[in-house]
């Protein structure tokens, strides 16, 4: 079974601290009361109904940010330009 089928279609990056990131497969990313949840959608074999299965959760205060990431290089996928200290990171190579 592929990772996408087992854990979810989308790839996410969670920044835990300046020096630590986690990359997660999940169909859904949601923040509830400060807790960041990653889950997958699946069909219950007995009832045939859609269910949500939590893959991973980060407690409030234990993560800084998260974004949909590229499976190729882990960079944010929805970003056209990223400017840091006046430099366009797309021109110099994205650096996290």
pLDDT per residue of the chain (96 residues) written in tens, 0 to 9: 777 777 788 999 999 998 999 999 999 999 999 999 999 998 888 999 999 999 999 999 999 999 999 888 887 887 777 777 777 766 545 555
Q: Where do we find the tokens 């009832």?
A: 47
For residue 67, the SS3 value is strand
Beta bridge partners of 69: 76
Q: Which region, left, alpha or beta, applies to residue 24 given φ > 0 means left and ψ of -120 to 50 means alpha?
A: beta
Q: What is the DSSP string of 42-59?
A: EE-TTT--EEEEEEEEE-
Q: Taking the model in full, what pTM does it have?
A: 0.76
């Amino acid at each position: 079974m592929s990772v996408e089928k087992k854990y979810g279609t989308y790839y996410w990056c969670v920044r835990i601290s300046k020096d630590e990131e986690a990359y997660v497969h999940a169909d859904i990313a949601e923040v509830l009361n400060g807790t960041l949840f990653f889950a997958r959608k699946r069909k219950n074999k007995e009832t045939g109904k859609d269910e949500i299965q939590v893959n991973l959760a980060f407690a409030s205060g234990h993560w800084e940010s998260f974004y949909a990431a590229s499976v190729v290089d882990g960079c944010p996928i929805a970003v056209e330009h990223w400017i840091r200290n006046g430099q366009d990171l797309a021109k110099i190579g994205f650096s996290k």
